[in-house]
Amino acid sequence: MIATIVHVFVKPEFVEAFIAATKKNHEGSVKEAGNLRFDILQDASDPSKFVFYEAYASEAAAAAHKETSHYLTWRDTVASFMAKPREGVKHQILFPQNS
């Protein structure tokens, strides 16, 4: 199992549009084969900062996410909304373990 934690920094004037586009990506992502979690968090003290917690059953499932139409649409839609490039860090899931 693999998880990626992505930090996203959005220009303040694009926060609402970013949230709307991200909701559509989330809705498609949670339906993907191999998706375990796709959580979107907004910083409580700075609404222009977001964290995505993406968990997949395998590297292949995580890679397949990057080929989906909902991800590609999201990526292209929000590109100009970013204050700086998003930062994703992969992690290995230790717990909970697959049952």
User: Does residue 93 lie within any of the structural domains?
Assistant: no
User: Does residue 82 lie within any of the structural domains?
Assistant: yes
55-99 residue pLDDT tens: 999 999 999 999 999 999 999 999 999 999 999 999 998 998 864
User: Does residue 99 lie within any of the structural domains?
Assistant: no
- Looking up residue 9, the CATH number of its domain turns out to be 3.30.70.100
Question: Distance between CA atoms of 64 and 87, rounded to whole angstroms?
Answer: 19
Question: Distance between CA atoms of 19 and 48, rounded to whole angstroms?
Answer: 10
pTM for the predicted model, two decimal places: 0.93
**CA distances, 97 to each of 18, 34, 67, 78 (Å):** 33, 15, 27, 34
β-sheet bridge partners, residue 84: 9
Question: Distance between CA atoms of 18 and 29, rounded to whole angstroms?
Answer: 16
41-60 residue pLDDT tens: 999 999 999 999 999 999 99
